[in-house]
Amino acid sequence: MSNEWEIVIGLEVHVQLHTRSKVFASSSWGFGKEPNEQVDPVVLGLPGTLPVVNREAVEKAILFGLVVDAEIPEQCAWDRKNYFYPDNPKNYQLTQKDFPVTMGGKVEIELPGAARNIMGEHKWIRIHHAHLEEDVGKLSHSGSGSLVDYNRAGVPLLEIVTEPDLRSSAEAAAFLNALVVKLTQAGVADCDMEKGQLRCDANVSVRRMGDIQLGTRTETKNLNSISGVRDCIIYESKRQIAQIEAGNKITQETRGWNAEMSRGYVLRDKEDAHDYRYFPDPDIPTLKISRETVNRLQKLVPEAPFDRQRRYIEKLNLPYTAASVLIADKALADWFETAVAAHPTNAAGIANWAANDLLRELSAQSGAEIGSDETPAVKISLDSCLIKPAQLAGLVKLTDEGVISKQQAKEVFTEMFKTGKDALAIVEAKGLRQNSDTGELEKIVAEVIADPAVAKSIAEYRAGNEKAINALKGPIMKRTQGKANPVMIDQLLRKLLG
Amino acid sequence: MAEEIYQLSATEISSRLAAGKLTSRAVVEALIARYHQLNKKIGAFTSLDEKDVLAQADASDARRKTGKVLSPLDGIPVAIKENIAVKGQPLTCSSKMLANLVSPYDAHVVEALKSAGAIIYGRLNMDEFAMGSSTENSAIQKTFNPWDLARIPGGSSGGSAASLASGLVPLALGSDTGGSIRQPASHCGIVGMKPTYGLVSRFGLVAFASSLDQIGPMARTVADCELLLKVLATPDARDMTCFDSTQRSQLPVATEKSLRIGIPKGVLGKGVGAEVAAATQAAIDFYKSKGATIIEVDLPSSELAVPTYYVVATAEASSNLARYDGVRYGHRSSNAKTPIEMMTNSRSEGFGPEVKRRILLGTFVLSAGYADAYYVRALRARSKIRAEHLAALEKVDMILSPTVPTPAFKVGEKVSDPLQLYLEDIFTIPANLAGLPALSVPCGKSGHLPVGFHLVGAPLSESKLFAAAQLFESAHSFANQQPTL
């Protein structure tokens, strides 16, 4: 029997959809309001009130489906999930049990590569379905009693259920990163985990490598960060393997996760499982989804991030790293493509500026951290960016044409970022234009060669030390105040030194 | 004018107001006097804000003076069942659970009545959360049948029916889940209609069984009932099951050929009182004499209607009533240490026995392992009942039967026998299960007690039903009847 273990993971991801009002009520919602400020008679479940499905929420859910190539059924319907808890205003939750808004679908993920600049393995994770339901309120306990805030109650929640296709904590993290990028780029959700806009339940089981049958799974509820999901999977898979290796059986149970302690704990076992007494909600008729709606929403689906990555690498000859940075932020990638359209011959040069210098400056401006685990999509705003895409293209073009050196370009870029002026205007104003006058440069090069101070370097070069030629370039630059075209200097030196 | 104001129909009041022979204030003052004289005895009203209704009457009279009359109902009092939301008024559902609840909003029907200028006139007793057929399940008070004060008025809209029969108000709103408008209408000798499911918005009607509940008009004449329904039946985006204007425009046009009336096979047989059967037979004979074709129809699944109803209605009720937990509003137990204990105790203390019985039954029929045997099967039976009715209504314009098998029983007589009580609704339940319009029209007496017959029509055929009822009413003396009190 093999001693190697395979971990099998399925995720249930709960995402708050980006909508103006709640899913079955006209009350607005958002972060940072006083408790129970965002409620109305429908949200509070006052007697006689009825739910009305928010069209925007349904359309966002459909858009999600289209983004992951899901099937959009002709109709969807809501069921009541009955359970008593004070944060649940009606003591039933409206959810979709039998007729969810989207069926199937798949998400492409990329695993970490061997190094930061090497592309990792790509893999497709299947989605089972996604259903649209209502969020519940928040209960808090204090010494004097329990308090409940219904601001979150009725917020549209899309529950995305994967197939058990994930095989490691790294794959789970990669999946969540890819999902967040897709959801935010399509405008389906903001996925701000610090605001609880994305929460996750992890179903974990283990089996011996090569086994066909799945092991008994446990479900850990309410993981609210990608690192939490990763830590929980590592913890839970180790726990299960240790149990089995000790000759014990895994109990099918629902578990909680203590993020501070990085430890899981049992919430309830199978015997205590709730009987939710689902039945079709009689207040909401079956909703028909017209193909016109689906076709209209299909037009809003952005290019898949990894399709974009492949296009950048294969068609635009971008290095992997720059391509990966750009595709993580749709606005930045769009910005980049506008710049490329203005100067199509050096996409890699533009990408280099956009993915490094521009992103660094923008991040510094907004105080965001680049590429941390919890912010896979770097949160920058191009709205306040003074450099327009065509202007960056102009800078690259000046460099490509040899008008300014790469060193000079850095200086010009800094000025452009601060002022939003055109590169050429800055070059002119600062007198940065690179000297490419062959006659003038040849005269200067000849004068420097004649200087006895460099005689030793010339001798070394002539003796075969290629690098010795560089010692001659400094004095030439000094004489031209750094404006000499370095390529031409190199050529002239080699010519004159024979 | 020999007639007293309290004896006038709404249509009559409306024309007298229009002619300047009467003011709304005079109407309201007369009804308030009648209220003081009789309500203690009848127990129909749970509350009446005299100052408020007089102010509404004065506002209506002022509109009339300046020629800004809003509708034929302007200035006419309409009383409201305790389970329909009126902003700033109690919404108790005749339950201890909601004894202190004041509604912060108006039901759609109340908004509609207000914009028609009607006077929102007092609140009417009912069985707790509309569960019952005698109004004996009210936690507030008892209501008695004006025709015999030792008897029940029917239920759950017993307050509505009794208020009309005793001349306390000319128009009232009821709600009907399995017969709660039509059964008390029959017992109190008035007209009551349950509209097609979806015709009247349920927004603001406290849910008992959402797929069956409808608000409907109750009055002493067919014309009054139709007048009131016209105001109630408007589109409302706040109820997704309420027809929009497109669906409403697909109303079947009354093709006035000769009337075809279906009589369910054996409907006047077992369990139907002799005088009820005779009065119903007389109604059938009347229609025959007017040229109607009488056709026997077979509705074999109707015998499943009562058990089907008590599965579907209780299942939905168990979920609908889950929200009453003392957390946000309503009765809260002072005897609890944890939130869950507080919820449990609040419910144990706040609900009456019939409500608890139905919550338990509904919870059971939805439970894992039982749902397939009960709830899912009941849904299948429901579809069959609906299909049979729709098929029959292809051949006939309406189906006629008694409204209730027997006349009003004595107070307390069936309290300990819920199964016997559930049979009160045997003729009325199929219309709810099938979502069809139905009404009860007075057609005679069983001894001193009124009896009504029942008409069920195809979806949205309300006007046809009213026309047939009007034909009967015009030829008989049961219109606008009131006992001497």
Q: What is the pLDDT of residue B160?
A: 98
What is the H or E stretch that residue A29 is in? none
State whether A91 and B323 contact (CB < 8 Å).
Answer: yes
pLDDT-derived band at B405, boundaries 50, 70, 90:
very high
Which residue of A24, A44, A49 is the best one to mutate when testing the B interface, meaning the one whose CB has the most B CBs within 10 A? A49
CB atoms under 10 Å from CB of B176, counted, come to 30
Show Cβ contacts of residue A306 under 8 Å, excluding neighbours closer than 6 positions: A108, A110, A122, A178, A327
Q: What is the pLDDT of residue A256?
A: 96
Q: In DSSP terms, which residues pair with A15 in a beta bridge?
A: A158, A198
Confirm if B308 and B365 have CB atoms less than 8 A apart: no
DSSP state of A17: B
Question: B192 CA to chain A: closest CA distance, Å?
Answer: 22
- Of residues A45, A48, A282, nearest to B205 (C-beta): A48
State whether B103 and A84 contact (CB < 8 Å).
Answer: no
The 3-state secondary structure of B29-75, one letter per residue: HHHHHHHHHHHHHHCCEEECCHHHHHHHHHHHHHHHHCCCCCCCCCC
Which residue of A82, A148, A277, A287 is the best one to mutate when testing the B interface, meaning the one whose CB has the most B CBs within 10 A? A277
Helix intervals (H) in A246-358: 291-298, 305-314, 320-327, 330-342, 347-352
Task: Verify cis geometry, omega within 30 degrees of 0, for the bond prior to B156.
Answer: yes
Confirm if A433 and A404 have CB atoms less than 8 A apart: yes
Cite the beta strand spans of B339-410 per DSSP E.
398-402
Q: What percent of chain A has pLDDT over 90?
A: 70
State whether B363 and A139 contact (CB < 8 Å).
Answer: no
Which residues from chain A sit within 8 angstroms of residue B324, using beta carbons? 47
From residue A230, give the alpha-carbon distance in Å to each of A13, A170, B175, B243: 14, 7, 55, 50
Domain spans of chain A, in order of start: 5-297, 305-430, 438-497
Confirm if A159 and A135 have CB atoms less than 8 A apart: no
Q: Is A215 exposed, middle or buried (0-12, 13-18, 19+ CB in 10 A)?
A: buried
State whether A282 and B211 contact (CB < 8 Å).
Answer: yes
Question: B94 CA to chain A: closest CA distance, Å?
Answer: 13
Pairing of strands B398-402, B260-264: parallel
From residue B27, give the alpha-carbon distance in Å to each of A251, B62, B78, B160, B169: 73, 15, 12, 18, 10
Pairing of strands A92-95, A79-82: antiparallel
Which residues from chain B sit within 8 angstroms of residue A278, using beta carbons? 366
Determine the Cα–Cα distance for residues B205 and B176; give it in Å rounded to an integer.
11
CB atoms under 10 Å from CB of A345, counted, come to 10
Sequential DSSP letters for A112-134: --SSTTS---EEEEEEEEEEEEE
pTM: 0.91
Any idea which residue has 């904590």 for tokens?
A169
Which residue of A81, A150, A283, A288 is the best one to mutate when testing the B interface, meaning the one whose CB has the most B CBs within 10 A? A283
Tokens of B348: 């144990």
Per-residue model confidence as pLDDT tens digits over B238-289: 999 999 998 888 666 555 578 999 999 999 988 899 999 999 999 999 999 9
For residue B85, give the chain A residue with the closest CA.
A48
> What length is written for chain B?
485
> How far does chain A reach from its first CA to its final CA, in angstroms?
73
State whether B240 and A50 contact (CB < 8 Å).
Answer: yes
CB atoms under 10 Å from CB of A79, counted, come to 21
Catalytic status, residue B180: yes
Residue A105, sorted as left (phi over 0), alpha (psi -120 to 50) or beta, turns out to be left
Determine the Cα–Cα distance for residues B47 and B25; give it in Å rounded to an integer.
19
- Of residues B210, B328, B371, nearest to A44 (C-beta): B328
Pairing of strands A102-103, A122-134: antiparallel
- Of residues B206, B323, B375, nearest to A89 (C-beta): B323
Helix intervals (H) in B233-304: 245-249, 274-289
Letter for the amino acid at A389? P
> What length is written for chain A?
498
Determine the Cα–Cα distance for residues B238 and A344; give it in Å rounded to an integer.
55
State whether A47 and B91 contact (CB < 8 Å).
Answer: yes
Tokens of A224: 């609210």
State whether B339 and A146 contact (CB < 8 Å).
Answer: yes
Catalytic status, residue B81: yes
Backbone CA torsion sign across A229, A231, A237, A243: negative
Of the candidates B214, B167, B153, the one whose C-alpha atom is nearest the C-alpha of residue B439 is: B214
Per-residue model confidence as pLDDT tens digits over B25-62: 999 999 999 999 999 999 999 999 999 999 999 999 99
Letter for the amino acid at B252? P
Confirm if A220 and A264 have CB atoms less than 8 A apart: yes
Determine the Cα–Cα distance for residues B206 and B83; give it in Å rounded to an integer.
5
- Put simply, whether B175 touches A (Cβ < 8 Å) is no
Determine the Cα–Cα distance for residues B458 and B392; give it in Å rounded to an integer.
9
- Burial letters B131-154, b for 16+ CB under 10 A, else e: bbbbbbbbbbebbbbbbbeebbbb
State whether B319 and A277 contact (CB < 8 Å).
Answer: yes
Backbone CA torsion sign across B71, B72, B73, B76: positive
- Put simply, whether B366 touches A (Cβ < 8 Å) is yes
Which residues from chain A sit within 8 angstroms of residue B237, using beta carbons? 52
Tokens of B332: 């809260």
- Put simply, whether B370 touches A (Cβ < 8 Å) is no
State whether A282 and B327 contact (CB < 8 Å).
Answer: no
State whether B241 and A282 contact (CB < 8 Å).
Answer: yes
Q: What is the pLDDT of residue A370?
A: 52
Q: What is the pLDDT of residue A167?
A: 97
State whether B103 and A48 contact (CB < 8 Å).
Answer: yes
Of the candidates B154, B139, B165, the one whose C-alpha atom is nearest the C-alpha of residue B218 is: B165
| B303-307 LR contacts (CB < 8 Å, sep 24+) | B304/B381, B304/B384, B304/B385, B305/B385, B305/B426, B305/B429, B305/B430, B305/B433, B306/B422, B306/B423, B306/B425, B306/B426, B306/B429, B307/B378, B307/B381
Determine the Cα–Cα distance for residues B467 and A234; give it in Å rounded to an integer.
74
Of the candidates B29, B437, B12, the one whose C-alpha atom is nearest the C-alpha of residue B219 is: B12
Residue A151, phi then psi, degrees to nearest 5: -55, -40
Cite the beta strand spans of B162-241 per DSSP E.
171-176, 191-194, 214-219
Interior angle at CA B246, CA B243 and CA B248, nearest 5: 55
State whether B368 and A275 contact (CB < 8 Å).
Answer: yes
- Put simply, whether B93 touches A (Cβ < 8 Å) is yes
Determine the Cα–Cα distance for residues A200 and A223; give it in Å rounded to an integer.
5
Q: Which of B29-43, B168-182, B257-271, B457-471 has the lowest mean pLDDT?
A: B257-271
Confirm if B334 and B74 have CB atoms less than 8 A apart: no
Q: What is the pLDDT of residue A376?
A: 44
What are the residue ranges in chain A where pLDDT is below 50?
1, 372-377
Query: Which residue is catalytic, options B14, B24, B60, B81?
Result: B81
CA A156 vs. chain centroid, Å, equals 22
- Put simply, whether B360 touches A (Cβ < 8 Å) is no
Which residues from chain B sit within 8 angstroms of residue A148, using beta carbons? 327
Give the CA-trace dihedral at B367, A139, B325, A22, to 10 degrees: -80
Determine the Cα–Cα distance for residues A477 and A482; give it in Å rounded to an integer.
5
Interior angle at CA A377, CA A375 and CA A378, nearest 5: 75
Question: B351 CA to chain A: closest CA distance, Å?
Answer: 15
Determine the Cα–Cα distance for residues A62 and A227; give it in Å rounded to an integer.
28
CATH class entry, domain A438-497 = mainly alpha
Catalytic status, residue B115: no
- Of residues B103, B238, B339, nearest to A86 (C-beta): B339
Residue B302 has pLDDT above 60, yes or no: yes
- Put simply, whether B373 touches A (Cβ < 8 Å) is no
Residue B7 has pLDDT above 50, yes or no: yes
CB atoms under 10 Å from CB of A192, counted, come to 16
Residue A459, phi then psi, degrees to nearest 5: -60, -45
Show Cβ contacts of residue A347 under 8 Å, excluding neighbours closer than 6 positions: A312, A316, A317, A318, A340
Q: Is A344 exposed, middle or buried (0-12, 13-18, 19+ CB in 10 A)?
A: exposed
Letter for the amino acid at A436? S
Determine the Cα–Cα distance for residues A53 and A58; give it in Å rounded to an integer.
8
- Put simply, whether B312 touches A (Cβ < 8 Å) is no
Of the candidates B220, B163, B225, B169, the one whose C-alpha atom is nearest the C-alpha of residue B30 is: B169
Determine the Cα–Cα distance for residues A48 and A38; give it in Å rounded to an integer.
19
Residue B106, phi then psi, degrees to nearest 5: -95, 140
State whether A139 and B339 contact (CB < 8 Å).
Answer: yes
Which residues from chain B sit within 8 angstroms of residue A35, using beta carbons? none
- Of residues A41, A50, A148, nearest to B239 (C-beta): A50
List the domains of chain B with CATH numbers. 1-485 (3.90.1300.10)
State whether A46 and B105 contact (CB < 8 Å).
Answer: yes
Query: Which residue is catalytic, options B95, B103, B138, B156?
Result: B156
Interface size between A and B, measured as CB pairs under 8 A: 102
Per-residue model confidence as pLDDT tens digits over A444-496: 888 888 888 888 888 888 888 888 888 888 888 888 877 777 778 888 888 88
- Of residues B206, B238, B319, nearest to A92 (C-beta): B319
Of the candidates A331, A389, A381, A321, the one whose C-alpha atom is nearest the C-alpha of residue A355 is: A321
Query: Which residue is catalytic, options B180, B201, B301, B440?
Result: B180
Cite the beta strand spans of A355-443 per DSSP E.
none
Which residues from chain A sit within 8 angstroms of residue B238, using beta carbons? 50, 52
DSSP state of A26: S
Letter for the amino acid at A464? G
Which residues from chain B sit within 8 angstroms of residue A46, using beta carbons? 103-105, 328-329
Tokens of A472: 């001659």
Q: What is the pLDDT of residue B313?
A: 98
